[in-house]
Amino acid sequence: MIRASLLDFLNTGCLGPIRPGATMEEIVALLGEPIKTIGEPAPHATQLPYWLYGNLDISFAQPEGAATFVEFLQIDRPGQLRGASRRVASRLMLDLHGFNARSRPSAFIRAVDEIDRVSVCLVDIAQYPAVTVYVGEELEINFDLGAEDPVETLPSLVEYIRALDSEAAWTDLYAYDPRCRTSRRAREETWPGRDAPFTLTGRDYLTALER
């Protein structure tokens, strides 16, 4: 049984020896065969391989002329993450350090050792109220508000952040290999500058909550 720490994952993007960039063979050696697979390896793939292990999903990249590797690790269905630890795959136990589906974005930000690596976007890809916490370029934590109306202009920042932090629900957590196009990079490349008014540092997010 592999034991990993959610705190370490927030700071390193790795679940013990399970890491973005690992090969398929390394993942099987560590975790065994997945519960379910989507897609298939090259050269016959019509969809990139995606493996499900429980609360852990693994997506693979297949660069032309190179070995297949883990594009990202995803922890999902946080409603199932209860207690001191959770078996997120048959061979992987994750120590939760008090985190669960009700944990606030601010709690995740405070858990990052280097606060200056953290930035926060206050809308989702469709401009609805949401929180995405980025740690560096490779890790993101998503929270959904279930709002019915998009946000066109930034409301009063302090009140908006307080509402988001108290009401947004944790949905998933991704750790990407640095060679891959992260969702953050995709947003910036597709809509350059669009999310700038809704993005601030992790330090400024926490400061707004303290006012």
Residue 43 has pLDDT above 80, yes or no: no
Residue 46 has pLDDT above 90, yes or no: no
| pLDDT tens track for 1-27 | 999 999 999 999 999 999 999 999 999
The per-residue pLDDT of the chain, averaged, comes to 92
**Which sign does the torsion angle of CA 13, 15, 16, 19 carry?**
negative
**pLDDT given at position 60:** 94
To the nearest whole percent, how much of the chain has pLDDT over 70? Answer: 96
Taking residues 32-46, report their average pLDDT.
75
Give whole-number Cα distances, 182 to 2, 5, 73, 85, 186, in Å. 27, 23, 12, 28, 6
Residue 41 has pLDDT above 80, yes or no: no
**pLDDT given at position 15:** 97
**pLDDT given at position 47:** 64
Pairing status of strand 36-38 against strand 129-135: unpaired
| pLDDT tens track for 141-190 | 999 998 888 998 888 899 999 999 999 999 999 999 999 989 899 999 99
Largest CA distance in the chain: 56
Residue 73 has pLDDT above 70, yes or no: yes
Say if residues 206 and 110 touch (Cβ distance below 8 Å): yes
Please tell me which residue, 196 or 152, carries the higher pLDDT value. 196
DSSP per residue, 131-172: EEEEETTTEEEEEE---SS--SS---HHHHHHHHHHH-EEEE
**pLDDT given at position 77:** 93
